[in-house]
Amino acid sequence: MDASCSSDNVVVALQKLTRKEVHLAPNVAQALALSRFRSANSFDKLFPRELTVCDLVIEGSRAREIAQQLAVSAKMINT
């Protein structure tokens, strides 16, 4: 977040942080999403399952939730 963020964005970010959730500023979330479509980026080297994990993280899912959804351990998601 930077000085140009609206007060609504700051409030939402603080609410998410108090719930121990991930918060990405809208411009960061957009940059991450768009980076999947650019050529020659680091996402090109990931396996489909790894991309799925990235997508879930971008959506705000926590490691434990991702692990349950993909039927793997949370430790595997964190590595």
Looking at the domain assignment, is residue 6 inside a domain? no
Q: Higher model confidence: residue 5 or residue 59?
A: 59
**How many domains would you assign to the chain?**
1
Residue 68 binned pLDDT confidence (cut-offs 50, 70, 90): very high
Looking at the domain assignment, is residue 49 inside a domain? yes
pTM: 0.48
Q: Over the stretch 7-31, which tens digit does the pLDDT of each residue have?
A: 887 888 888 888 888 888 777 888 8
Q: Which residue range forms the structural domain that includes residue 31? A: 24-78
DSSP state letter for 72: S
Residue 42 binned pLDDT confidence (cut-offs 50, 70, 90): confident
SS (H, E, C) the chain: CCCCCCHHHHHHHHHHHHCCCCCCCHHHHHHHHHHCCCCCCHHHHCCHHHHHHHHHHHCCCCHHHHHHHHCCCHHHHHC
Looking at the domain assignment, is residue 1 inside a domain? no
Q: Over the stretch 44-66, which tens digit does the pLDDT of each residue have?
A: 788 889 989 998 998 899 999 99
